[in-house]
Amino acid sequence: MKQIFKKELSTKTSNWIFKIIVFILYILLISAIVNLKVIKNSPAYEISLIFIYSSSAAIILVSFVTLLLFLIPNKSRKTKIKKSEIEILQVNKDE
């Protein structure tokens, strides 16, 4: 039973890590496209650069915090898994 829960938890974590990495790459692609489309001598170029870099930095920061929340073991998360393991074991004994 423990292996099943560890497998489910690891697949959920890896799915979230993959989604966050794809999201970061998507934002970087958008910033590169916007950077190429804006004329470099116009005043809007500097404003767009500030917006692009600040938004991408904020998104990367939030994604790293989310990754840390998934990677650092949480005591309450462990107790929830243990409680569900106990419930499943009790159901199996009743059958």
Domains of the chain by residue range: 2-94
Residue 4: C-alpha distances to residues 7, 13, 51, 56, 88 (Å) = 5, 14, 45, 37, 12
Reduced to 3 states (helix: H, G, I; strand: E, B; else coil), residue 73 is coil
Helix 43-71 × helix 2-37 angle, to 10°: 170
Give the C-alpha separation, 95 to 23, whole Å.
45
Query: So what's the pLDDT on residue 79?
Result: 54
Asked if 34 contacts 51 with a C-beta cutoff of 8 angstroms, the reply is: no
Instruction: Please tell me the pTM assigned to this model.
Output: 0.41
Give me the residues of the chain with pLDDT under 70, please: 1-13, 35, 37-40, 71-95
